Homo-oligomer: A and B are copies of this chain.
């Protein structure tokens, strides 16, 4: 039928200044745009266990303020229940936040674009207080009519 199957992979390096979330949709989308894929998948994988990914509402920044408040209340830094404390009072909470959210997300591709809902963005969520450069492996695959 003249279809070609396509796979490609790139690693993004994203600097985070400390705890908080950042929209990385456009950086992912730009990898998708150049692929020429008609139907396919975009897989986003963070190579860390104290930062994570989420698909979240992208209109009102207060949504992510409230998410931060919720997580800080649910998993307080320095909670005396934790025994893994050598790397700081925010380290074990960071691992738990990572486990409760996403290490990887797969997004649909249609016509060389991410097929997201209007109000959806992809966020990197840093859970440590110190600055970190986070590595994200993006793998794209699909079918091109070329």
- Residues of A in contact with B (beta carbons under 8 Å apart): 3, 5, 7-9, 38-41, 43, 45-50, 54-57, 60, 62-63, 65-67, 69-70, 73-75, 81-84, 86, 92, 95-96, 98-101, 103-108, 110, 115-120, 135, 137, 139, 141-143
Given A63-B84, A70-B81, A135-B117: A49 in contact with B56 (beta carbons within 8 A): yes
B43 touches A9 (CB 8 A): no
Interface of A is mostly: mixed
A79 CB to closest chain B CB (Å) equals: 8
Residues of B within 8 A of A60 (CB): 84, 86
Given A117-B135, A143-B7: A69 in contact with B81 (beta carbons within 8 A): yes
